[in-house]
Amino acid sequence: MSELQTDRAKPLDAGAWVPEIIAFCCNYCAYAAADLAGSRRMQYPSNVRVIHVPCTGKIEMEHILSAFEKGIDGVLIAGCLEGGCHFLEGNLRAKRRSEYLQEMLDQIGVGRDRLRMVNLSAAMAPTFVQRVEEIVDKVKSLGPNPLRKSGVP
Amino acid sequence: MIVASPKPVTELKQLIDRHKKVLFVGCGTCVTVCLAGGEREVGIAGYATRMARKLSGQPVELEQVTIERQCENEFIKDLAGPIERAEAVVSFGCGAGVQAIAERFPSKPVYAGLNTNFLGILEEQAVWTEKCMACGDCMLAEFGGICPITRCAKHMLNGPCGGSTEERCEVAEDRPCAWQLIYKRLSAIGQLDRLEKIQPPKNWSLAWFGGARKLVRPEHRV
Do B112 and B143 belong together in one domain? Answer: no
Using CB atoms, which residue from A61, A69, A107 is nearest to B9? A107
The whole-number pLDDT of residue A15 equals 67
Q: Is A69 on the interface with B (CB under 8 A)?
A: yes
Do B109 and B186 belong together in one domain? Answer: no
The answer to whether residue B215 sits within a structural domain is no
Other beta carbons within 10 angstroms of residue B113's beta carbon come to 27
Do B68 and B167 belong together in one domain? Answer: no
pLDDT for residue A11 is more than 60: no
Q: How many domains does chain B have?
A: 2
Do B51 and B91 belong together in one domain? Answer: yes
The whole-number pLDDT of residue B165 equals 87
The answer to whether residue B12 sits within a structural domain is yes
H/E stretch holding B180 reads: helix B178-188
pLDDT for residue A4 is more than 90: no
How far apart are the CA of A104 and the nearest CA of chain B, in angstroms?
Answer: 7
Do B91 and B155 belong together in one domain? Answer: no
The DSSP secondary-structure symbol of B219 reads: G
Q: What is the sign, positive or negative, of the torsion defined by CA atoms of B132, B135, B138, B142?
A: negative
The whole-number pLDDT of residue A148 equals 84
| Residues in contact with B69: Cβ distance below 8 Å, sequence separation at least 6, in sequence order | B27, B28, B29, B75, B97
- The CATH number of residue B24's host domain is 3.40.50.2300
Distance CA A111, CA B184 (A): 50
Q: What is the sign, positive or negative, of the torsion defined by CA atoms of A123, A90, A45, A10?
A: negative
Q: DSSP alpha helices (H): ranges in B16-86?
A: 30-33, 39-55, 73-76, 80-85
The whole-number pLDDT of residue A14 equals 56
Distance CA B189, CA B187 (A): 6
Residues in B closer than 8 angstroms to A146, CB to CB, are 55
Per-10-residue mean pLDDT of chain B, 222 residues long, equals 97 97 98 97 98 96 97 94 97 97 97 98 95 95 97 95 90 94 97 96 90 94 92
Distance CA B88, CA B77 (A): 16
pLDDT for residue A141 is more than 50: yes
Which structural domain, as residue segments, surrounds residue B71? 2-118
Q: What's the 3-state SS for chain A?
A: CHHHHCCCCCCCCCCCCCCCEEEEEECCCHHHHHHHHHHCCCCCCCCEEEEEECCHHHCCHHHHHHHHHCCCCEEEEEECCCCCECCECHHHHHHHHHHHHHHHHHHHCCCHHHEEEEECCCCCHHHHHHHHHHHHHHHHHHCCCHHHHCCCC
The whole-number pLDDT of residue B85 equals 96
Do B164 and B110 belong together in one domain? Answer: no
Cβ distance A68 to B8 less than 8 Å, yes or no, reads no
Given a contact cutoff of 8 angstroms between Cβ atoms, the answer to whether A136 and B81 are in contact is no
Distance CA A73, CA A114 (A): 7
Domains of chain A: 19-141 (3.40.50)
The whole-number pLDDT of residue B210 equals 84
pTM: 0.89
The whole-number pLDDT of residue A6 equals 43
The answer to whether residue B199 sits within a structural domain is yes
Do B139 and B180 belong together in one domain? Answer: yes
Average pLDDT over residues A83-110: 97
> Predicted ipTM?
0.87
The answer to whether residue B126 sits within a structural domain is no
Residues in B closer than 8 angstroms to A150, CB to CB, are 54-55, 57
Do B78 and B146 belong together in one domain? Answer: no
Q: Is A50 on the interface with B (CB under 8 A)?
A: no
H/E stretch holding B179 reads: helix B178-188
Distance CA B109, CA B170 (A): 43
The whole-number pLDDT of residue B75 equals 95
Greater pLDDT, A152 or A36: A36
Per the DSSP assignment, residues forming a β-bridge with B63 are B23
Q: Which residue of A has its CA nearest to B55?
A: A147
Residue B133's Cα: distance from chain center in Å? Answer: 10
Q: List phi, psi (to 5°) of A140.
A: -60, -40
The answer to whether residue B123 sits within a structural domain is no
pLDDT in tens, A36-64: 999 999 999 999 999 999 999 999 999 99
The whole-number pLDDT of residue B197 equals 95
What is the phi-psi region of residue A105: left when phi exceeds 0, alpha when psi lies from -120 to 50, beta otherwise?
alpha
Given a contact cutoff of 8 angstroms between Cβ atoms, the answer to whether B39 and B26 are in contact is yes
